[in-house]
Amino acid sequence: MVSPISCLSILVIPLLVTSLFYQVSNAVNATYLDSICHKSTDYELCNSTFAADSRTPTADLNGLLLISISSNMNLLETTIVDRIPKILDILEDPLDKARLQNCSTDYIIALGQLSNAYLASASKNYPAAIRLARAAAHKNDECDHEYDTTNRPSPIADVPGTVVGLIVISYVIVDEIPL
């Protein structure tokens, strides 16, 4: 007599193998990824972002979108948790401290928006993902403008440009996804 488990395994194993093959076969090839990076505003950022992520070789367009959003989330988290507190410890000017604390608040909000954009992308709700990424970009701009009226450079001047660059990469990828 054939057990129910062996019957299930006869059905399930081919489905698993097929789904694994399907995932890999839909992966974006290196030439296509290179063309996506050329469409972004920062080719080097795009290239290095995907080269640094182990998910890239098997990622389809949605996977690349998730990688770009998660890279942005990692950048903001590192900035909020590691960089800003260390800089605040050495700043003496109360106005500089206030500016940087405002940036921290802006980045916390942007991180939440990007987290929701990630969830929207994971469920393939691309209009919501773009709307949330755009909202995060606006919060990023608020931080970037904190130092507009001063003669001092922002101690985190590299972050706003990278955040925008990663958001633009996300936009480029969404434009490539057939809806």
Contacts of 43 (CB under 8 A, 6+ apart): 37
Distances (CA, A) of 161 to 15, 25, 72, 117, 130: 44, 34, 11, 19, 18
CB-CB contact of 117 with 129 (8 Å): yes
* DSSP assignments along 46-89, one per residue: HHHHHHT-TTGGG--HHHHHHHHHHHHHHHHHHIIIIIHHHHHH
pLDDT band at 172 (very low <50, low <70, confident <90, very high): very high
pLDDT score, position 1: 52
Hunting for tokens 């001047």 — which residue is that? 157
CA atoms of 65 and 18, how far apart (whole Å): 24
Distances (CA, A) of 129 to 8, 114, 145, 161, 173: 38, 8, 24, 20, 12
Burial class (CB in 10 A: 0-12, 13-18, 19+), 18: exposed
Q: Is residue 141 over pLDDT 60? A: yes
Supply the pTM of this predicted model.
0.84
pLDDT in tens, 12-60: 455 444 444 444 457 899 999 999 999 999 999 999 999 999 999 999 9
pLDDT in tens, 86-96: 999 999 999 99
Q: Is 29 left (phi over 0), alpha (psi -120 to 50) or beta?
A: beta
* Cα 172-176-179 angle, rounded to 5 deg: 125
